[in-house]
Amino acid sequence: MRKLHRMTLRLPLSSAFPDDPDLERIQAFAFDRIGPDQFQVEPGHSGLLRLFGGAVLSQSLAAAQLTVPEDKICHSLHAYFLKPGLTDRPVEFSVTRESDGRSFANRMVRMTQGGTPIVNLMASFKTAEDAPQFSLPMPDVPMPETLPKLDDLVAAYGDRLPSRHRPFWQRRQMFEWRPVDGYRFDERVIGPATRALWFRLNGTEDGPAAVQQRLLTYASDMHIFHTALSPLGLGWANDFLQSSSLDHGIWFHADFRVDDWLLYVLEGAAASNAVALGRGHIFRSDGQIIATVSQQGLVRMLAEKREGKL
């Protein structure tokens, strides 16, 4: 089984580190073992009112990885977000070993906070095999070095960004993002349900495939179902929009490094009943597809402006 790499770094629960993504990354996976296949970690501080969805997804995958032999790598995961996680208390992970075979292993992870369910995640793991392969072609897009940084676009948008979004978006992110075709905040015009963004880790990560996968899982929660807002004439920064991730699926296809440039190609598949579905493919810069992602999220328009609280 994978060793529990327990980090000794512990920050006060009230601490925030908006400009140090390395500290955020260390704290996110500083697991304590509290029982057989049970783990605990301090809450993440991303500037959001609740725990960031990408963080709890990646932590749930990491908990499952700790119970699986090192020769088995995740090939797919599926998760439901059940309740918003609070930022002032630890979270717990309970892993159930659903099956263990020669080639496959399957795990159920239940993430809770003080007994309240936050995320349920199923993950399937598999040994590597030599087999025929093919990959969808990567779109022909400008290389990231020629594109503006999302951080600079956020800075230029300035005070037009609703105050509840600023602590998260105006900090130094764990990943650097470079949009291919501009970036929507609250432009109330109808547009296409497609977009693409280059991204890479802010820093270096030499860890094995399991570590690369959990960090990609963190990044995959960004931007995806919001792509379906464009045909509705909405942007995610609309003050009257209530939005949150409802579920998330990832299929891993090939090896990668998160500190290399990766291209996230997104499309909004549908929106109805106050929910929207986004889908995406992630490519290495050499054109190899490495993952496919899907996510459905709440898209509810309110009669009054959102307040800065849960």
Rounded to whole angstroms, how far apart are CA atoms 225 and 120? 19
Task: Summarize the confidence of residues 2-25 as an average pLDDT.
Answer: 50
21-128+143-301 is a CATH 2.40.160.210 domain: yes
Among 118-127, 189-198, 247-256, 300-309, name the one with the lowest average pLDDT: 300-309
Say if residue 88 is exposed, middle or buried (CB neighbours under 10 Å; 0-12, 13-18, 19+): exposed
Structure tokens at 215: 């960090």
List pLDDT tens digits, range 242-257: 889 999 999 999 999 9
List pLDDT tens digits, range 28-37: 899 999 999 9
Among 4-13, 106-115, 200-209, 227-236, name the one with the lowest average pLDDT: 4-13
Rounded to whole angstroms, how far apart are CA atoms 46 and 19? 10
Query: What pLDDT score does 60 carry?
Result: 98
Q: Which residue has the tokens 């598949």?
A: 269
CB 197 within 8 A of CB 264: yes
State the distance between the two ends of the chain, measured CA to CA, in whole angstroms: 39
Residue 82: pLDDT band with limits 50, 70, 90: very high
Query: What pLDDT score does 169 carry?
Result: 76
In the predicted model, is pLDDT for residue 13 greater than 70? no
Rounded to whole angstroms, how far apart are CA atoms 226 and 112? 26
pTM recorded for the entire structure: 0.91
Share of the chain above pLDDT 90, in %: 67
In the predicted model, is pLDDT for residue 10 greater than 50? no
Residue predicted with more confidence, 234 or 117: 117
In the predicted model, is pLDDT for residue 5 greater than 70? no
CB 246 within 8 A of CB 275: yes
In the predicted model, is pLDDT for residue 6 greater than 50? no
Residue 308: pLDDT band with limits 50, 70, 90: low
Q: Which residue has the tokens 């998260």?
A: 168
Query: What pLDDT score does 44 carry?
Result: 77
User: Mean pLDDT for the chain?
Assistant: 89
Residue 14: pLDDT band with limits 50, 70, 90: very low
Per the DSSP assignment, residues forming a β-bridge with 267 are 194, 279
List pLDDT tens digits, range 206-231: 999 999 999 999 999 999 988 999 99
User: In sequence order, which ranges of 129-243 are alpha helices (DSSP H)?
Assistant: 150-157, 166-169, 209-220
Task: Compute, in degrees rounded to 10, the torsion defined by CA atoms 242, 245, 247, 248.
Answer: 150
Per the DSSP assignment, residues forming a β-bridge with 119 are 81, 111
Query: What pLDDT score does 208 carry?
Result: 96
User: How would you classify the pairing of strands 194-201 and 116-127?
Assistant: unpaired
Residue predicted with more confidence, 163 or 196: 196
User: In sequence order, which ranges of the chain are alpha helices (DSSP H)?
Assistant: 21-28, 53-65, 150-157, 166-169, 209-220
The domain spans of the chain are 21-128+143-301
Residue 19: pLDDT band with limits 50, 70, 90: low
Per the DSSP assignment, residues forming a β-bridge with 79 are 121, 248
List pLDDT tens digits, range 126-185: 999 999 999 899 999 999 999 999 999 988 888 888 777 777 777 778 999 999 988 888
Per the DSSP assignment, residues forming a β-bridge with 293 are 250, 280
Query: What pLDDT score does 291 carry?
Result: 98
